[in-house]
Each structure stands twice: as C-alpha cells, then as structure tokens.
Structure 1
C-alpha cells in the first residue's frame, strides 16, 4: 500500500510537471506570436495609411520631379531643392511618431529619396521586399539593428519594422509608379510584449503551481488514512493562505500589463488622429459597432446618439453607393474580397462627403466572422479637386474645338479670295491675257508677293495651332544635309543679292544623312536665313554652317512610335550674321509666338512674330534644341541641334515631281479635234472666272456648277473627263457631291481633284475617302494645277 501510494504520487508529479511546463511554454509562445503578429499587422496598416497620405500629398505635388529623377546623378538628386522640400514635409509629418526613416524607390529600384541623403541613389532592385512590392504586394520585414541612422540621430540596439508599399497612380490599384519604404521603431512595443510574456508566464506558473498543490493535496488525502485527516486539513489551510498571496501577486502583475497595453493603444490613437484617420470596430456576433471621435466628426453624429449597430453606417450611405458598399461588405465577411473602397455618405446637414475605407475581418476556428476592424479617411477635398479638374478639361476641350473650327473657317474664307488674287496675278504675269508693260508687271509682282506673304502668315498660324494642340505629325524621310542646305540657300540668295549681302555655306565633310521631316526643317532654315537677311545691313554677310557634336542627353521624340533612351551625336545647324544684334534682356522673348522685340523695329522690319516660335517648336518636335548667341551692334548666331540617331520612318503620301510628268498630247497639241471637258464646281465667282479663263486658254472645255447639287446633275449629264470640286458649297457640299458622283458606274473612274480652303489635319483624308483622286489647298498655283490635270488625264487616257 505504501509503495502504491509512492508510485501514485511520483507518477502524478511527473505527469503534472510535464503538462504544466508544456502548457506554460505553449501559452507563452502562442501569446507572443499572436501579439507580435497583431502588432506587425497594425503597424503595417498604419504604414500603408501613412504612405497613402504621403502619396496623396508628396507624390501628387512632386510627381513631375520624382518621375524625372533618372536624369539626375546621385549627388545632384541629393542636393536638389525639391528633394529638400520633400524631406522637410516628411520630417514634419513623422516627427514625434515611431517612423524613423522614409525612402522612395522608382520602378528600376533606384533610391530617388531618403531622409538619409547619403542613401539616395542606392540600388534596391534585387531586394525581395522591393520586388514583391513592385508587383503590388505590401511587404513588411522585422529585423534587429545594432546601429541605425534615423531622422535626427543615430540609434543603437533597435528592433525595426521595414514596410515596402507600392504607390499607385491617382489611387487606382493597377498602375504602380513607385515604392515607399518606411522604417518603424517597434523596440518599445516588443519590450513591452516581452515583459508581458514574462509576467504571463510567471502568473501561469503560479496558477498552475497552485492547481498542482491542490491536486497533490487531493491525491494525498485520498491515499492517507483517516487518522491523519485532521493534519491534512490543517496543512491545506496553510496552503490556501499561500495560494491567496500568490494569486494577489498574479493579479497585480496582470493589472500592470493592462496599463502598458493601454499606453500602447493611446499612442496608436494619437498617430491616427494626427493623420486624420478614423478607426472603427464591429463586434459581428453581437452587432456592436464602435466609432472613434474622428469618425463621429466626419459622419456628423455624436457619440451619445450612436445606436451601436451596423445599420447606423448603412443609413448614412448615399443611395447610389449603398448597394455596392453593402455587397462589398458581404463579400468581405465571406472572405471573397478585401473591404477596400470609396463611397459617399450623407451627413445630417444634407451635405455629401467622400469616404475612403479599408478593413479586415477576423474569424474563429470555424471560419465564422467574429470581428471587423477598419479605418475611414475623408477624401472629399480630393474628389472635389478631381471633379474640378475634369470640368476644366471638358471646358478646355470645348474651347480647343471651337478654336480649331474658327481657324478652319478663317482659313477657308482667306484662302478662297487669295486663290482668285494669286491666280489672276499668275495669269497676268504669264501674259495669257496679252502683253503687259513693265510698270504693270511690277505692280502685279507686288500683288503676288504680298498675297504669298499673307498665305505664309495663314500657314504659320495653322502650323502653330497644330503644334500647340499636339496634332502635327512629322513625315520623316531620309535627307541629305548638303541638298537640304543648298536648296534653302538658293531660295534666299536673290534676296541677299538685292541687299549686296554675301552668303557662305560651310558643311563639315562625312556628315550622316538625317531622318527628319525635310519640308519642315527646310522651313526652319529658310526662316532663320530670311531673318538674318532682314536684320543685316547692306554689304553685310551671312553664313550657314553645319557641324557635328557629341553630348550626353535624354531626347524626347514627339509623334513617333518609339523613343530611344538617349543619343550622343548631334548635328548643329548655325546661321551667323553681321546684323543689328539683340540685347540680352530681349533674347528670352525671341521664341514666344506673336512677340516682336521693339516697336521701332516693327515699323522698319515687318513681321508677325510667329517665325521663331515655329522654329523652336518644329525643332523640339524632332527631339532637338534651339539657341541663340547675340551681341547688339555686332551680329547674331542662331543655332539648332538635331539628333543624328535613326528615328522611325513614317509613311507619307508620295508625290510625283512636277518636272517628271509628261503632259498629254490631247490638251496641248495644236491638232486636237475634241478638247478635254472639265467640270468646275465652285461657288466663288472670282475663282470661277480665274480658273475657267486659265483652263480655256489652255484649250480645255469648261462646264460651270455653282453648288453641289448642280455639280452632281452636270456630272451625270455631261460626263466630263475631269472634275474640279470645291468642298464648301451651298445646297450639297463637295464631300457629299463626290460620294453621289462615285455611285454612278459611268463616273466611278472619272478623276476628281478636290479644291478647298480648308487646311486642317484630316481634311485630305476626308476628301480622298469621299472619292477624290487628288487634293489641293487653296490658293492653287494654276501652273501646278494644270500639271496635275494633265497627269490625271494622261492616266485616264492610258487606262
């Protein structure tokens, strides 16, 4: 019996001690895992919220700078004024919080900002945290640092939480533009957790010891004889007094742990209050909803008036947003989606506010939702700003459309009379109406020259409008520099000769060909050469010089399908004169549209002030740069650089050189029996007289139609060999007239040449789509028109 009693006590003691040790260890480990996990999750969410705040403030304000940091070296980026400004904002926002350091990475992993400037430029592209965050995940890593450089000091022996958080464009969850990394000091919290874990372990040990003693007493009592029952009872009373003391110590320790947790919660509340973030907690089984003060303020309710149910929140939802918000809440409770959304609420005063909400759901072992904790952020001001921006964009688009329509109308109204003026002067200069005197010839040349000058002004205004609206598309082609420069010099040489100005052309040998819009770059050269001649006195000199140079630069190619990252080889075109020069204070005004520098010069040298503005914008469309060096009274040196690397060669409509067209014998032969019949559809009487007279002199039979309806009728009844179609006509416009004419099988192959005062992008395509064979913008050069007519009639005759 004694041995059995001994064995019972020994086995009980071993089993109890083993169980107690295992229970205490598991309890301590599980407690630490749970508390640390909750701490990290909460800290990570706070970091995400803080990052969203930074993204909504810093990224929006400094997006242009942060998106262009690849152009800066590490030292230049660290020393940049906007880097300092961002640092001041970040330091001010995180001062007094547990955030020790903030970094921003671009999508290549380069550190474009750090509160520790020495780390700017570091490569984080191989960091696992960065790579995961770049793909859209929020990644947090807990680590220990023996030393760490924080915002304003160096710290030692700290536990840090490093959170990598993606930054999205305009709040959507698709386009990532960068990565934030926040270092948060969790050392005090981990120390508190360690202390609480220790206290909990000690308390558990004490409680289990008490239980063990009780059980031990029970076992002894059952194994002892009745004669020692009184002794056991007395011993039990002593044991109870000890247990009471130990229990009191455990309760004191638990109370201290509770106070520490309250302190931690207070810190979190201060942080969320500073960031204007409201926190709510929903006890799902009991349907008890708890809001903090900030949420009550946003929703416009008082804490005393809360009914403490989820229905309170649902009643505040805007009717249009309520179904979607409620459905997302249900999906979150089912674990199908995260509760991350933006919705509108109606506050008691009737006003509407926008709320950004994020929440997580906690479930029990049976996968049943038990608790939902989340945050609300009032983003009404951001939404109002977005709406205002959208409204402004609509107004700008409307204004741009009205401007384009106005310019198209003005272009048509100016080009139509110019067509008659320049056409008549061309007929007179060619002496098709008979001989003219020298005085008459000079007067007609004045008309022709000024008409062409007016046409150039119209073209410049339209080109400038196209560039500013982003509608100008460059037509790239392989261009020889020698041909480009020589052809440009030929066009200005007579003007220079008239002022006894010497012209020089110097081109460095072995320069490569350029892929450029040849016509527009020629226009740039001619403009600069004309300006040099205009502002250079008699017997001065002008030099066009072309050289190559190498410089590091990141180019921006406009209107191309792809853009190379960089180019080092550039071709510099320089126009150097010995003219009147420009004062230094006026150089900055040179390339502004409609600006001339001096009213006295305006009276002496005519001009609109458009030329240099077009020069600058055309060169920049090619990815180039423009500049000027000038000294008043000495002369000016205008230059522009073009990249020599290959640009994408865009397709352009080929045109047949005029001098390569063989004229048909029928229209020009003196032995012709039946002349070609041409239908002229035009509502402007001066243009009818000018064009018809010219064509009749050339031997054509001309039929006149003064509106689109008449043009359709005469085309079907007369079956002309060729049709000249104006676009803007009464009754039926030219586009509709061409469509109806093409529906007649007998006229489907008849050449139709569209003549229009419209000169906007897309007009040519509209005419060709309607059935035009060729397209001309007024004013039309009659010789050029005759050549195109002969070409089309020759093709028709051969077919």
Structure 2
C-alpha cells in the first residue's frame, strides 16, 4: 500500500492544528485568568488597607477581644450591625460582594453574611498563607452566592485572603477575606480570548491551505518520480533478466551445437549415400523392367548376356552404403532434432514470451523449466537434488518467478565447489504457504552481509561477475506476489534461501518486473 501524502498530511495537520488551538486556548485562558486574579488580588489588598485605615478600631475589637466570646454572643453583639453598615457603605459601588475577618486563630469574627460568624478557617490554605504574610487568591464559579443582604447566582468570584496589619503598630493582627465579582470582566476576557483564538485559527487555516497546495504539488512530483523510478526499476530488472538470458543463451547455444553438428554430419553422409545408390538403383530398375519384358523359357527368365553387361558397368560399387546405415543416421538426426526442440520448448517456457500476466500455475513446473535451463550453465559435476512435493495451483506471473528461482540456483552454483558441490531444491506446502527452498553446501554468507544481501547493488562478487541486482529484484518480485523471501546461512557449511508464497492471494495486484 502506497503512502498517501496528501491524505496523511491533511489528517496530521488538522490534528496538530486542533491541538495547537486547544493548547493556545488553554494557555491563554490560564494566563488571562492568572492576570485577572492578580489584578483583583491587588485591588483587594488596597481595599483591605482602606478598610483597616478607615474603620480599624471596630475590627480591632472583634479581632483582638473576641477570643472568649461565644459564637452566638458574637453574632448578636450590638456592634456587629454597626460594623456591617460601615463596611457596606464603604464598599458601595465596588465589585466587592462579601467581606470576612478572621483572628490569628482562624476564627471568623465578622462576615457580611452573619451566619458564617464563628466558622473555623484555621486549616484553610489561603488563611495559612495570609497568616504568614503572603496574600492568596483563587477564582471560582458560584451557582449561588450570599452577597451582603441578597443572594446572587451564576457568578465568577475571586476570593482573596489578605493579611491585616495594625495601622499604628504595623503588627499582623488578623486576616481579611474579600470576595470580588469578576463575572463581567471574565466574560470580556473570554470574548477577547475567543477572538484571538478565532484569529489564530484563521491564520492556521491560511497556513494549512498554503501548505496543502505545496504538499499537493510535492505529491504530484513524488508520484511522477515514483513512476519514473518504477520504469527505471523495470528497465533494470529487464536488463538483469536479459543478462541472465544472455548467459543462458550462450550455454544453450553450446548445448545445441552438439546435436546440430552430428545432424549436419549425418545429413551429409545420407546425401552422399543416396547419391551412391543412384546408379545401382537405376540399373536395378532397368533390370527389373528387362526381366519383365524378356522372359526366357528357362527358370530364371533373365537374359544372361544383358545381366553380365549390367554387372560389368556396376563394378566398383561393392562398398555401397547399406540402407540400414542410412536409417540409423536419419534416426540419430531425428533424435538430435528432438533434443533441440525440447531445449527450445523449455527455453520458451522459461522466458514465458507468450504469457506475461497473472495465471494459475504449478510452481513445480516452474522449477522443472528453470532446472532444465540452469543445468546447461551449471558445471556437470555439481549434484542437484530434487524434492518436489504436491503443490496446488497459485495465481502468479511465471516469468517473474522463473527469474527469482534462476537467480537463486545460479547463486548457489557459484557458491559451491564445482567438483563436488551439491544443490538441493525442495517444494512443499506449510501453513497456507507454498515454500521453495534452495540449499547449497557452499562457502556460506558472513553474518555481517546477511542484512545487506537484498539491497540493490550489494554484491560480494567482482564487477565482471555480478551487478548486485539479482536478489534485490527477486525480493521485489516475491513481495509483489504477497510473499516473503528469507535466508539462513552458516559460513563454511552452506546457505538456504526460502521463498514463501501464499496459496490464496488477491488477483490483479501484481506488476511485471
């Protein structure tokens, strides 16, 4: 399956852009929220200073002298209402919606919501931070909120714990908690945030379109280059195939030379013998005709004088070629012609000149054709063992697989000793695959070369002996047939190449190499 650049670029870009948009939105939201909280905290700090400077004596009583007063007494203290009125009048028109005061033990000594007076905040992190002199603020959303003398709903609130110092002594004496309503500000921030995100999304969209145009153009160029590379690989494969064929044709020519030589010799002898029989045959016919026309009264029925005349004229033909010799020579000629015919037939089957498409084929026939042709190129002292199992038909391109197996067999022949080398070829079915093994007892392949032997142009042979394309092309052909080619080798012991092809394959997915 080819890599679909445009498709994957589009998917990846959209995913990345979404991630960037959400991340940007998240980061911007955090930054703006932090800025808003910081701003409100500063305002609450200033508000605390205003309160402490304006009405501190009243709070001083609550904070410093309420430790022994019960919660109910504190809630009903006559000064509580007056402090409430002073606080609300001081904060009138400001976004502050609640104020609390705590003593250093964490007890709530004042709240604009009277019911909260007496609550313990000693373990609250915000209170503890303010008690140590560090203001602490947090943003939260409240569905309902008791603000002064009313209940409000659906509000965004910043609550700040602010340390309170005595205006006269500067000593930390308590903590204020001030709640500010930031719903309107937060809504504006979100509106601005959405506009920024929308603008960035628009820019990302323009960037995506620009990149998509570039990628499409690049994809067209890559596809064109791929087509050219395919053509180049096909030409290389064809060149490799023709090189193999050239080598085999030279061997086949040598094989054809012997039957051609004795066929020509026999034909010359037959022609010469027939020429020698021409005169005796003519006189024989004359003798037969004469015997028929001039029958004598004796038992021979032949004119003795005429017979003697024929014998004198045929003197010197005692060593005429026998008819049996001519028949034997012609029989040898027929045998030679049969050998040449068989060789040409196998060569034609090997090249599959008449068939370069996907067909149902038995790989054993393929192996037989290859072995017949390869035998002419392999030294005669190399022993070839066949062990062909019963195979089902598979869809394949025989001419391509011929090239694979001839490469493997020739490589094995080059690896073994030409005097006592052995090549074993096996075919069998195993777990839904047809497996063909080509094993030799040659020198083996060093481990460092095993990972590279299927790479194009990799070869351990000399420049004149190999191009380094045979195994690379074989691997490509096998993979186009949805198969696998593997190798195992041991230095000094031999090498085994295994070709695995699925019994059931999808039609129409293979290309000619």
- TM-score greater than 0.5 by the shorter chain: no
Greater Cα radius of gyration, structure 1 or 2? 2
Normalised TM-score (structure 1): 0.28
TM-score (norm: length of structure 2)? 0.42
